[in-house]
């Protein structure tokens, strides 16, 4: 098989399994880069080539563990499914990820970000992302019909893991979206691409919008669009919203993922008294 034939078969295999569009694109891209790196079809490469490629990504490209693991998953699918040539998972284990506490935007910083926007479309995108706690791909691919003003919810189709869910639609978000709709009159996609007719804004373009206004707002923290999602969850938790409700709003499959936000909330926001302060005054 040629490199092109392998990629075509991989695309077929991902689609027939109903994987999310994002996963389909990721697996295709990773397989293509792997083959291009060696300039050979994957049928002529073995597990040692996979290990050497992952090592190259780690040591020379300096990719983060999470990024390396996406290559790992894509290449496992390529060999195990598309080529029907199972690889030993113990030989290419997932890279250990050290989960660090991310930077969270304060409420004032979020407000400054929105106020920095000089374009209604861009402001609508950022407010929707924070107001509903959406992922980058989710806000980019919203359709007009996904906004339900009667039930005050946003329909998220084909989210992470190919799952649909409903997200929160705030009144402030709805007010801005109505202004945006009156001015731009989007038809199918809520946020259209400016470069390609008939499709939605790309995730990269959305990230660029965030970076632009983050700099204008003078936010120096190391953050991305996903920081808005982290901030949404953290601010809800600080407001006393149940961790189980936050899990549902974020679309997490496992409550342990949501519980990570308990480590982010400031101690002062928890309103918790140490048991030491409840001891009798006689303690010396």
Active site residue 213: no
Percent of the chain with pLDDT over 90: 59
- The CATH 1.10.150.130 portion of the chain extends over 3-82
The domain 107-269 is placed in CATH, from the list 1.10.287.1770, 3.30.930.10, 1.10.443.10, 3.40.50.2300, at: 1.10.443.10
Least confident span in 67-81, 112-126, 234-248: 234-248
Active site residue 200: no
Tell me which of 95, 160, 165, 212 is the catalytic residue.
160
CA 12, 18, 21, 26 dihedral sign is: negative
Euclidean distance between CA atoms 180 and 190, whole angstroms: 10
For the cut 70, the answer to whether the pLDDT of residue 271 exceeds it is no
Active site residue 135: yes
CATH 1.10.3210.10, applies to 3-82: no
State the pLDDT at residue 272. Answer: 60
The whole model's pTM is what?
A: 0.68
For the cut 80, the answer to whether the pLDDT of residue 67 exceeds it is yes
Euclidean distance between CA atoms 101 and 42, whole angstroms: 38
Closest Cα partner for 50 from 73, 28, 17, 19?
73
Rounded alpha-carbon distances, angstroms, from residue 218 to 101, 207, 210, 215, 276: 22, 17, 12, 5, 41
State the pLDDT at residue 284. Answer: 53
For the cut 90, the answer to whether the pLDDT of residue 184 exceeds it is yes
Question: Over the Cα atoms of the chain, what is R_g?
Answer: 22
State the pLDDT at residue 161. Answer: 66
Active site residue 229: yes
- The CATH 1.10.443.10 portion of the chain extends over 107-269
The angle subtended at Cα 268 by Cα 129 and Cα 102, nearest 5°, is 40
Rounded alpha-carbon distances, angstroms, from residue 130 to 25, 117, 148, 228: 25, 14, 17, 5
């Amino acid at each position: 098989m040629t490199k092109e034939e392998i990629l075509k078969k991989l695309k077929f295999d991902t689609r027939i399994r109903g994987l999310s569009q994002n996963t389909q694109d990721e697996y295709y891209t990773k397989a293509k880069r792997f083959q291009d790196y060696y300039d050979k079809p994957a049928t002529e490469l073995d597990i040692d080539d996979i290990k050497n490629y992952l090592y190259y990504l780690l040591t020379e490209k300096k990719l983060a563990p999470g990024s390396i693991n996406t290559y790992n998953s894509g290449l496992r699918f390529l060999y195990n499914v598309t080529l029907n040539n199972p690889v030993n998972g113990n030989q290419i284990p997932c890279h250990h990820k050290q989960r660090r506490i991310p930077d969270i935007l304060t409420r004032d910083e979020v407000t400054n970000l929105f106020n920095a926007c000089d374009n209604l479309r861009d402001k609508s995108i950022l407010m929707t992302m924070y107001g509903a706690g959406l992922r980058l791909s989710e806000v980019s691919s919203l359709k007009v019909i996904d906004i339900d003003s009667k039930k005050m919810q946003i329909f998220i189709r084909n989210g992470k893991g190919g799952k649909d869910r409903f997200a929160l639609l705030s009144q402030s978000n709805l007010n801005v979206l109505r202004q945006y709709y009156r001015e731009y009159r989007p038809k199918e996609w809520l946020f259209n691409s400016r470069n390609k007719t008939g499709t939605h804004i790309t995730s990269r373009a959305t990230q660029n919008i965030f970076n632009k206004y983050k700099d204008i707002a003078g936010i120096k923290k190391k953050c991305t669009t996903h920081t808005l999602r982290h901030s949404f969850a953290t601010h809800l938790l600080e407001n006393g919203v149940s961790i189980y409700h936050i899990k549902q709003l974020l679309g997490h499959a496992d409550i342990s993922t949501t519980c990570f936000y308990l480590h982010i909330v400031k101690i002062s926001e928890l309103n918790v008294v140490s048991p030491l302060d409840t001891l009798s005054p006689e303690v010396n």
